[in-house]
Every structure is written in structure tokens, then in C-alpha cells.
Chain A
Amino acid sequence: MELGFGAEYDAFREEVRTFIKGHWPPADGNLKSAENERAFVIAAIERGYLHRAIPKRFGGSEQEPDIARAEIIREELTRAHAPAGRIPGNGLVVPTLLEWGTEEQKERFIGPTLRGEIIWAQGFSEPNAGSDLASLRTKAELVGGKWIINGQKIWTTYGHKATHMFCLVRTEPDAPKHAGISYLLVDIRQPGVTVRPLTQMTRQKEFSEVFFDNAETPADMLVGERGKGWNVTRSTLKHERSGIATMTWSLSMFRDLVKLAREVERNGRPAIQDPRIREELAAIDGQLQSLVYSTYRATSHDIHDREVGWFSTMPKLYMTELAGRISKLARDIIENDFADMGGERLKWIERFMISLSMSIAGGTSNIQRNIIAERSLGLPRDPKASPGEKGAAA
């Protein structure tokens, strides 16, 4: 057993580090500049460090799949707080275009997307189409070489920052539910599109509602065939997947919790010395360590082409429950500050709420339970529900 990546990867890590040092922070020291970010991303693509699964002719770096290298690059970029060229919508649309897009679509969109010149929002969920995504109603009609779009999307991540949207719309009103849906690309900087940011319970604005009122997109912005949009969204490309990123997020939240328990006093001594707090902290850590090492196990199985078994469907739900438990212990530690959003512990109040968004976004926890039940445990499928359908924001 070997938990690291092995000595053969040490040289590669060194190479990545040297590259990052030479390019980030940028020479003018401006970390916020979009121009600097773009320059870094372009250099990293040229070097083969970013967008590794994407062909060179579309602006990627076209590298052999290697989960270990991809993970080392991710770790080093994170360590240096360097840009990783990650915009949520962009990460979803590029693989879809690669598999289903026309040559024109690929050439026109993929390169600028990778370089961050186009920012995509996902237009899937609607007010009446959440977990049951295929019941969506936003419609598009082909009139004189253009799609005319009417309807409403919701939970659109970064909708107010996006320039384009990839969306599911109903184009075949007479076809059965799933067969009436098409996948369209839309420039949303046009008069027929209104973006209204939603304020979350945390007071933050990460999502929007998007209204289409006779919005237009050219006929050739259809991805895949008419009425086959459902298949287009369900396709997955083989690329360097690794659950390590989600695990790292949990680890960092837990580290903050330990820090909090050390800082806050309870009955005249640090809360971490209170046996009840200490024991719950250790119990949460037990759950976290389970996730961490099962993730290493899963990644190792991926690298070595072995089947990982039941665990593959579990990380999201496991992490959602873990995040809830972490935020509840933080609540127990901060006590009065839990009621004060203007106080010094706002971050933990936000986390208490944000941990709930994990149980909704990207497939609700109950949908996750359905997926585990069917795909891992092999329980009979419920013909009425298709748990593979992921509603909500991404």
C-alpha cells in the first residue's frame, strides 16, 4: 500500500511547482486582474497542465489521461492560489460539445471557453422542474432559421456573470416527456433575456432566475439532434475524474472547526478541552477519515482500472451529512454568536445554511439515496422516477 503518488511523480511535481513560481503571482502583483488570470491559464494550457483531456485543435493541451498527474497539478495550483481555469458552467459544457457538438460549434466555442472569454451558465432547472427535470416547459420554436425561446430557468449559477447559456428546452411539444427536449446554446446578452439574481438565505447572490421573452438563437445552435437533448445531457466523457477535490474541501472545513474549538472559551477553558465537544469532534473526524481514505481507495482503483464497488455513488451524500454535522458542532461552540449575523462568527452561520444547499444542488439528497439504492444496492428501479435525473443548480 502506498498513499502518496510514488517517487516517479516527484520530478513531475517539482516541474509543476517551478512553472507556477515563474507565472504566479503575476509580475504586476495584481491577483484580481482577469487579464492576468487569462495569461496564466493560456500558459498552463501550453505547458499541458490545464484542460488535459481536450484536443489541441480546440484549444486544449491533449495529454494522456493520468489521474495522478492531474491531481498533482490540482494540488500545486491550489497551494499557490493560482487560477485553475474553472468556471462551473464551462466545465459542464465543454465535454458535452466535444461529444455532441458540430465542428463549427467546437471551433467557435471550446477555445474561448477554456480561456475564460466566454462564461457559461447552465439552464436546466425550472420553477416546476427540479428533481423531475424532464418535465421542463421552457419552449423553443424554429421560425425562419432562428429558435424563438420563451419560458423561465432558475438556480442558474453565476447567471449574472455569464455571457452564454446551454439549456434544455422543449422543442417537440407533442412528443413524450423525455423525447421533446433539445439542447440549445444561447447568447444571453440580448434584449429577450432578463437575468434576476436570487438572494439566498445567507444573503449571498450566487444564483439567478433567467426569463426568456422571445429570445433568439440561430438554428445551428442546436447540440445533438432535435428531441435528443436528454441523451446529450446524460452523456459523460471519460476524463480525469477524482473525488479528491471534494474530500479536500471537507478536510479544510474540519481544520477550521478544530481551530474554532481552540479559539473559543467554554467554562473558562478552550472548548476543545470540553469532553463533550472533544468527543464529538473526534466522532466527526472518524467520519471524515472514512471519507478521506475511501476516496484514496477509490482513486487507486480508478488508476489501476479496478471496480471500486458500492462507494462510487456515495461521496456526495456522505459529504452532505458530514458538512451538516460539522456546522452543528460549530453552532454548539459559538453559542450566542450563532444568533448574530453581524458578529465575528458570520462565516459559521453561513456554513450552517450553506451545508443545506449541498443537500439540494446537483441532485438532492433524496435523489442521491435513490441512486445509491438502485446502482449500488441493486434495489429494483422505480419506473415512475428516474433517479439518474439531476435537477437543481450546477
Chain B
Amino acid sequence: MNFLLSDDQLVLVDTVRDLLRDKCDPLQVHRIFDLPGDAQFDADLWASLAEMGVPAIYVPEEHGGLGLKLIDLAIVSELLGSFVAPVPFLGHALAIVALTLAGSDEQKAKWLPLLASGEKLATVALGEGKSDWLPDQWTLSAEGGAIVGEKVLVPNAAEADLIVVGVREGFALVEKGASYTTKRIDGADRTRPSDTVTFAGAAAELLPASADATTRLVDAAAVLLAADAFGGAEHCVTMSVDYAKMREQYGQSIAHFQGLRYQLVAMALATEPSRGIYWYAAHAWDDIRDKASYAASQAKAHLTDVFLQVTRDTVEAHGGIGFTWEHDTHLYMKRAMFDWAWLGAPSRHRLRAADYAGW
């Protein structure tokens, strides 16, 4: 039994964590979060991550990537959640997964090297309406090589050079400059801006092997969100514990008060054991195909619920300061709100998991 990270994976984690400590400290995140106008990503940080090879993780070696697995993307996703990193990782990584799974040799050769290096930015357009995220709910079509219709909560669509659009036929590529418009929403989570994209007959090219890839991609997205949520939740627990040790009232640190201690224990108990479920979901996606959809939906449902609740508990544990805009608490709560809603609410994923479990 070897359910633990390899030495290479531990090095990957340490390297990315060091970079984030250096370039993604809370002050920097607040600075990006508070930029006036439309939310934006941290271009310097994204460039540094690209230089380190983060976008190349899942890209096959023959296309200039590292040829690693979803679990490797997931452990990086955990770190980005932990640091509430304002970078366009989610959409970019998922677009790479879609292209790798379903693209033709020409499509891969054209796009993957550019995406691996971070020279071009890609994203995925999956959601429709108020809550339609799954492939059998997609109504847009690329029939005749053009797409008409609307996709919602598309990460960084305005900046993206390439959008992988979920359509009835599978996936279609739409390049920047095609007939579509983007409208940035006033998103709660300003670390991951997203847009409503209206396609007005946008030229689209299908990914040939995409019929089977749509479910795989949804599962991969669920895993990456779960990992992000775990990282965020774990950070919130640590932050709350540290604050309790430092904050004094009644002449002693509040960490001495049993009521608060038990609240902190409840947060830790909800969070720490759930590391296993996202690891398993990533591992199942990579190596245990028949469990992948079930495990991915369970991980997404469980962890995004846990993260959101833990951010609420974090505000309580901090008292007044935790309710302010200056504090980090709201960055995490808003990150948790995005993780909760994107790809569908936990209750939908629980029912999906129940179907896959054969209940």
C-alpha cells in the first residue's frame, strides 16, 4: 500500500509553495482583489507559475509538457486554494485536459505547446442557465461550424485566446476574435474572474474524440475544485488556530476557552480527514476509471460544502476583525462560494454520485 505522494510530487509541492509564499502573500492577494473595475488575475504570478511549469503539468511530453497526471494538477490546485491565488489556473488546466483527451493531432500540436508555456491562455465554457453544468444538459451546438448561445461563469473568458466550449456534440474550440462577446460578472470571488459569454455564430472546430471526453472533463473539474476547497479550508483552520493562540481576552489567550477550542476542533475534524477523498478522486480519475465519476462528484460535493462552512466558522473564530474587508477571511469565503457553485451545487453532485454508485 502506497497511498501517499511520491518524492517527485513532494518536490513539486515544495517548489510551488515556495513560489506562492514569495509572490502570493496575503497583501498581494488583497491588492489584486481590490483593483478597481473588473476583476483581474495576477499576470506576474501567472507568468512565474508558467515559468515553473505549472501549466505544462498535464500536457503530454511530445507537446512540450511534463506528461504528468491529474493528481499532480490536483495537488497544485490545493496549494492555489490555500493561498487564494488570483491566477487563471482552473480554466486553463481544464482546457488542456480537454484538448489532450479529445483533440486531433493537429489541434494538439497547434495549441498544447503554447498553452504549456503559458504563452497563450485558454479556458472552458461549460455552465448554462442557472444550474446546468453536465454534458447532457448542454444545449449549445457547433453544428455547421458555428456556435450560437450563452455560457455562464466562464473563467477568464475575456482574456482567453482559446475557449473550449461544451456543446451537444462534445467539445468545440473557439478562438479569440471569433463572433462572441464577454461580459465580466461582478463576481464575489475576485481571485477568479469569470464572464458570461454570448456566442453569435462564433466559428467553432470540434474536437474529434470529444463525445467520451465530456464526462471525463467534468470529473476532472470536480477534482480540481475539491482540491482547491481542501487547500482553502485547511488554511482557514490553521489561520483560526493561530489567531486563537495570539488573541488575548480576560488576561489570557482565547485558545484557553473550551467553547472556542471545540469549535476549532470541529473545523479541523471536518477538514483534515477530507484530504483522503480528494486524493482518492484524483487517483480514481487517473487509474480506476469505473470509480472516477462517482468519486469526483463525492469529492466536489463533500469538500465544497466543508470549505464554505469552515469559512463561516473562521469568521466566528475571529470575531469582529474577521468580518472586515481588510482581513483574509472574506477572500476565502468568496473562494469557497465559487467552488461551491461552479460545476453545480453539492446536492446535485450527491445525486450524481448516487446514480454512479448504482443505488
Contacts and interface: CB of A to CB of B under 8 A. Distances in A.
B182 to A, nearest CB: 35
A310 interface: yes
A384 B217 CA distance: 54
Interface stretch (B99-107, B116-124, B274-282): B274-282
A273 to B, nearest CB: 9
Contacts of B262: 366, 369, 373
Interface stretch (B147-155, B173-181, B349-357): B349-357
Contact of A295 (B244, B268, B276, B350): B276
B273 A294 contact: yes
Given A283-B350, A296-B1, A380 B256 contact: yes
- Contact-residue bracket for chain B: 35 or more
Contacts of B283: 1, 3
Contacts of A366: 262
Contact of B354 (A5, A281, A380): A281
Interface of A: 1-6, 68, 258, 261-262, 272, 275, 278-279, 281-283, 285-287, 289-297, 299-301, 303-304, 306, 309-311, 314-315, 317-318, 321, 366, 369-370, 372-373, 376-380, 382
Nearest to B297: A282
B3 A372 contact: no
Nearest to B358: A258
B304 to A, nearest CB: 11
Secondary structure at chain A's binding surface: helix, strand, loop or mixed? helix
B16 interface: no
B3 A296 contact: yes
Contacts of A290: 273-277, 302
8 contacts: A2-B3, A282-B354, A285-B298, A290-B273, A293-B280, A297-B276, A379-B241, A380-B245
A269 to B, nearest CB: 13
A290 B279 CA distance: 9
Contacts of A258: 359
Contacts of A372: 265, 268-269
Contact of B359 (A4, A278, A286, A370): A278
Contacts of A303: 1-2
A306 B5 CA distance: 11
B268 A377 contact: yes
A380 B246 CA distance: 11
B253 A282 contact: no
B203 interface: no
Contact of A275 (B276, B351, B357): B351
Contacts of B71: 1
A300 B1 contact: yes
A292 to B, nearest CB: 7
A1 B2 contact: yes
B301 interface: yes
B179 to A, nearest CB: 41
Given A282-B353, A300-B3, A379-B245, A293 B261 contact: no
A309 to B, nearest CB: 7
Nearest to A9: B1
B353 A285 contact: yes
A10 B164 CA distance: 45
Contacts of A2: 1-3
B264 A379 contact: yes
Given A310-B268, A378-B241, 11 more contacts: A275-B351, A279-B351, A281-B354, A282-B350, A283-B350, A296-B3, A310-B272, A318-B269, A379-B264, A380-B256, A382-B256
Contact of A1 (B3, B295, B299, B302): B3
- The 8 A-B pairs of least Cβ separation, nearest first, read A293-B276, A294-B276, A286-B302, A282-B350, A293-B280, A2-B2, A300-B3, A296-B3
A352 to B, nearest CB: 22
A311 B6 CA distance: 19
Contacts of A282: 298, 301, 350-351, 353-354, 357
A306 B6 CA distance: 12
A4 B2 CA distance: 8
A294 B359 CA distance: 24
A7 B158 CA distance: 50
